[in-house]
Amino acid sequence: MITRAGWGLAAASVLVYAVGAPLGYAQAAVLALTGVAAVGAGALWTLRGVRLEVRREVTPVKVARGEPAVAILHVRNTGRWRHAGLLARDVCRGTTVTVEVPALARHTARTVSYRLPTRRRGETPVGPLLLDRVDPFGLARRSVAYGRPDMLLVRPRTVVLAPLRSGRQRHLDGLTSRSAPSGASSFKGLREYVIGDDLRHVHWRSTARTGTLMVKELTDVNLPDTVTILDTRPSSYEGDDEFELAVDVAASAACAVTRDRFPVRVLTGMGELVHAKGGPGEDEEVLDRLALVEREAAAEPPLHALRRAGSGGALVLVSGTFAALPDAAAVRRRFDQVLFVRVGDPTDGGPPRAAGVNVIEVADLEELAAAWPG
């Protein structure tokens, strides 16, 4: 296809001929013919077949917002002729990344890499990859698509926080180990025996009464149980940056719990997003789910989500407006600790107070780490 430069040269050539020929300037015809011939030669240059093997890798496939992600392009010339003037173009969420591929002699390969944009959180399709063959003067271009789009998942940024302490009963030794559920020591109930259970926990009276081997189910009364609620109403935020920070805060609060293998529920104005029960690797699931969260016009106020949050443990409510603070104050008696985090520039006079609610304002994740009460 003819590029803008090619069309411009062709139009200029016609204009020179149209103006100069009636006045008897022979040079005008020569210039016009030369320009049109150059455009034609460029088109013929790009029509020549190109035999290439092209493979692209995206690494890593999951990355925190703002962190580097790289595409690695492997190009091999399997044809009989040397190829030069190759440009690779990748489209990544509306942004076109262009990289020049060095000249390829016959049966040789080249590897080039380029950064991918990661400023926006979410699923980011990379591609399809277009390889352009351009003539030396940039008058014509031929584009060929290679492969399928790859998927890059841009997840929220997080900062390391301590889990909020909760539980009305306390062990003198504090929190249990990272495998707290299996090291539990407080009676919760009875259940049927499962292969692998400790026989020391068999409840013989119930076994004799039911005829089924029953064991005591134990749990740690000081086990941190956290509910994190993210306000996803569009009216709660002044812009995209504030909402992205709110997602980062919610992710940091939730991962502070899951990284120590304690349970956490993450809710938004659209319902429950994820319920991590304390298993290994659940922080990855939390980040994957929060990577896809968007503001929704149909999102409910935080109070509606709080009604479904149950009671006990710690509550973290993240919003971009103090208008949601009364929702947290209304349920403070249902939780052992309530934290309200308002994201955005600090307000004049400092944050308002609410009985039984710890209120903090943060403009970035560094401020969150400094103000975190854990």
pLDDT band at 171 (very low <50, low <70, confident <90, very high): very low
Rounded to an integer, the average pLDDT of 26-46 is: 74
Q: Among residues 303, 341, 353, 370, which one has the least CA distance to residue 162?
A: 370
* DSSP code per residue over 154-172: EEPP----PPPP--SS--T
Which CATH superfamily includes the segment(s) 52-155? Immunoglobulins (2.60.40.10)
The string of pLDDT tens digits covering residues 131-158 is 877 766 767 767 778 878 899 999 999 9
* Dihedral sign from CA coordinates of 294, 299, 300, 305: negative
Surface-to-core class of residue 20, CB atoms within 10 Å of its CB (0-12 exposed, 13-18 middle, 19+ buried): middle
Is 374 within 8 Å of 163 (Cβ atoms)?
Answer: yes
At 182, list the tokens: 């299996």
Is 187 within 8 Å of 97 (Cβ atoms)?
Answer: no
The string of pLDDT tens digits covering residues 224-268 is 678 999 999 999 999 999 999 999 999 999 999 998 888 899 999
Per 3-state DSSP, what percentage of the chain is helix, strand, and coil (rounded to 5)? 30, 30, 40
Please give the helix or strand (H or E) that residue 229 lies within, else none: strand 226-230
The rounded distance, in Å, linking the Cα atoms of 296 and 306 is 18
Whether omega before 102 lies within 30 degrees of 0, making that bond cis, reads no
Q: Which residues pair with 263 in a beta bridge?
A: none
Top CATH class of 226-371 equals: alpha beta
Q: Which residues pair with 100 in a beta bridge?
A: 87
Is 337 within 8 Å of 166 (Cβ atoms)?
Answer: yes
